[in-house]
Amino acid sequence: MNLSSIKDFMKTKKMIRPVAVMVLLLSAVAIAGFYSCRVHQTETKHLFAMDTSVTITADKDNLNTYSEEIQRLDKMLSAYNPDSEISKLNKNKECKLSQETAQLLEQAVKLCRKYPDVDITVGALVKLWNINGENPVIPTEQDIFSAKETVGVENININGKPATLENNARLDLGCCGKGYALDVLRRLFDENAESYAVVSFGSSSLVYGEKPDGKAFVTRVVNPENPNKPMLEFETEQAFISTSGGYERYFEVDGKRYSHIIDIETGYPVETDLTSVTVISRVSGIVSDFMSTCVYIGGTDKLNDYLDNKDFEIIAVDKNKNVYCSESVESRVEILDNKFKMK
């Protein structure tokens, strides 16, 4: 049985350098065989949703069900889909939300209040910087100030009929939408008694069940300076895995790189001394997705606040190529590039 790596080719525009995927799941993709206590034949399917390439490997009889569910979630949550509930709320500043969307927003708001470096009302700044657009440029200070004034979860009224956005706020679920989709898929895998599945939304992934060969899942994290090469790998059992870094999507002006991750305090793309943050959660895709962004923004100054957290594990890399790990994951990490060293 041949196992190859998942490679996510992020959707990029002319001014955005194409980059390789941050997380290469060695255990995934192109598995064609039979396994487990009842016979399953796995297949791999590729699609595009939530502004990224999606790869899913699972029982071939269930693949269409999972693909349809991913497309349903895209139509519900993606700010890049003009027909989604989130897009309609952003455009009209009010929308009658499904119970599912309302519950997701409530969960996201709780995380934003607990970890205020990240805010799902960052949408006006994301739109202003237009990192994913054809010709991104540096906005004016006045425009940045005006967009920054719209940020704040207090501007969301989820419980209204319809839900409303105040103060011209705009939602962007880039910090949690993919994680939520993984949570939904995990529940479907449970319901369908999947023995083994892997799904990747680019930088956020779920490795599920047990590999046919009985070995641990192995995940590789790429070198931020050379995304075509891995810098380290780690073993894990079933888990949600998300990686954040400024090398995913960005543009450059006069040699300075402006990434897609926005600092809500300054209104500018974040400047941090971390180059890559991977968060592993065995409980929640939203948590791994959200916290990888949060830890990345906070930099090494706040890193110790998170390394001992029992809800997730962290592997972070700084600009000096130091690797920081939660104690629980350190023994499972292998550095592949000798330029990097364990801190």
Find, among 19, 26, 20, the residue nearest to 57 by Cα. 26
Cα–Cα distance for residue pair 251/91, rounded to 1 Å: 26
Question: Do the Cβ atoms of 236 and 207 come closer than 8 Å?
Answer: yes
- Pairwise CA distance, residues 220 & 55, whole Å: 16
Q: Which residue has the tokens 């990192």?
A: 131
> What is the CB neighbour count within 10 angstroms for residue 273?
12
Strand duo 250-253 + 256-259: pairing: antiparallel
**Longest distance between any two alpha carbons in the chain, whole Å:** 63
Burial of 249 from C-beta contacts in 10 A (0-12 / 13-18 / 19+):
buried
Nearest to 326 by CA among 340, 341, 316: 316
Does pTM top 0.75 for this prediction?
yes
User: In whole angstroms, how far apart are CA 22 and each of 116, 225, 252, 287?
Assistant: 25, 11, 20, 18
Q: At CA 83, angle to CA 269 and CA 184, rounded to 5?
A: 75
What is the pLDDT tens value at each position of the chain, 343 positions in all? 333 333 333 333 333 333 333 444 443 333 233 333 445 689 999 999 998 999 999 999 999 999 999 999 999 998 888 999 999 999 999 999 999 999 999 999 999 999 999 999 999 999 999 987 888 899 999 999 999 999 999 999 998 789 999 999 999 999 999 999 999 999 999 999 999 999 999 999 999 999 989 999 999 999 998 888 999 999 999 999 999 998 777 778 888 888 899 999 999 999 999 999 999 999 999 999 999 999 999 999 999 999 999 999 999 999 999 999 999 999 999 999 999 999 8
* Nearest partner of 251 among 128, 134, 118, judged by Cα: 134
Give the CB-side neighbour count of residue 285, counting CA atoms within 13 A.
Answer: 24
Distances (CA, A) of 50 to 11, 53, 112, 170, 275: 10, 8, 21, 17, 24
Q: What is the distance of C-alpha 202 from the center of its chain?
A: 7
Domains of the chain: 83-165 (1.10.3980.10)
Distance CA 279, CA 295 (A): 9
Q: Are 188 and 59 in contact (CB under 8 A)?
A: no
* Distance separating alpha carbons of residues 170 and 124, to the nearest angstrom: 5
